[in-house]
Amino acid sequence: MYIAKETRYDKMRYNRCGKSGLKLPELSLGLWHNFGSNGNFDTMTELCCTAFDHGITHFDLANNYGPVPGAAEENFGRILKKALGAYRDELVISTKAGYDMWPGPYGNWGSKKYLVASLDQSLRRMGLDYVDIFYHHRPDPETPLEETARALDGIVKSGKALYVGISNYNKEQTIAIADLFNEMGTPFIINQRKYSMLVRDIEKDGLKRYAANNGIGIITFSPLAQGILTERYLHGIPKDSRIRTDGRFLKEESIRPEVLAKVQKLNAIAWERGQSLAQMALAWILRDRDITSVLIGASKPSQILDNLGMMENIAFSKEERERIEQVLAQ
């Protein structure tokens, strides 16, 4: 029987999510990878319990996470029954809908029919009555934005989600749907976007600043650029890397010589700071205190523990910031 550590809240810091009353841990656990039907259930359970034992209270899922689609939610539901369910009121559980999930015209994008049906399926898979945050996973170019917004608002009013989020919306798209949510009084609190030292779109399109100025939280995914911002690829591509074993999301062409050169220079700065490259990359995302939480993934508990080490030093001197920017500009 799992019993959570009494010290689980001693070191983790929690940031308010936009203007809401909800706080998220600086690090959250994403179940995008390693929780599918091809994974080891005992390892999955150990990952979630290790995270919670160290104050990571937020677990991020989506309807299509797997493989196969739906498998991550099913496995997380089993983990709740086996271990974490007794702590449900201490957990923030989020899921999403927006990508292809089932055949036919109603299993994708952002219609009311799809969003409502998808969340019902997600709740059944996880054995839950509600999720804390329900996201629209990506903008829909065909469904009227008003329909998507009203569907999300209705889901909250039905009690099946406490808060609403969006994912992969740029600044202009965020402004448009935020205006609709404001009119309806919808508790819209967060946008989930890709962000790392190597992918800085939320700075370029102005979303990072807009969200900070308008009380919208931001949670970032792929903070380590699918493992590039770790020591794993410093000397080339290992035979057991995700590029070799999966290849769906990280391609060999992503590890170009100029990228490796940057990573090696960043690694040197990290060691001067007393951190691993991964720890510095995570801390860098939080450097301006305008990101609510950073989503991490893990295939083994030791990776979670290493990532948690970033909390020892998230401050960057002016010189360190300038040196990092110089490297990234190369």
Q: What is the pLDDT of residue 241?
A: 64
CA–CA separation, 147 and 139 (whole Å): 12
User: pTM of this prediction?
Assistant: 0.94
With beta carbons less than 8 A apart as the criterion, state whether 134 and 94 touch: yes
Query: Mean pLDDT, consecutive 10-residue segments, the chain of 330 residues?
Result: 97 97 98 96 98 98 97 98 98 98 97 98 98 98 98 98 98 98 98 98 97 98 94 74 56 73 95 97 97 97 97 96 97
Domain boundaries, the chain: 14-229+287-313
pLDDT of residue 208: 98
Q: What is the pLDDT of residues 77-105, one digit of tens each?
A: 999 999 999 999 999 999 999 999 999 99
| SS3 category, 86 | helix
In this structure, which CATH number among 3.30.70.60, 3.20.20.100, 3.10.50.40, 3.40.640.10 belongs to the domain 14-229+287-313?
3.20.20.100
Question: Taking CA 101 as the corner, what is the angle to CA 69 and CA 96, rounded to the nearest 5 degrees?
Answer: 80
Mark out the alpha helices in the chain (DSSP H runs): 41-53, 71-79, 112-126, 145-157, 171-184, 201-204, 207-213, 242-245, 257-272, 277-285, 301-308, 318-329
pLDDT for position 251? 54
- Give the closest residue to 119 by CA, choosing from 87, 142, 88, 94: 94
Taking the C-alpha atoms of residue 126 and residue 123, their distance in angstroms, rounded to an integer, is 5
Say what the pLDDT of residue 232 is.
84
Pairing relationship of beta strands 293-296 and 217-221 according to DSSP bridges: parallel
Say what the pLDDT of residue 235 is.
74
**DSSP label at residue 294:** E
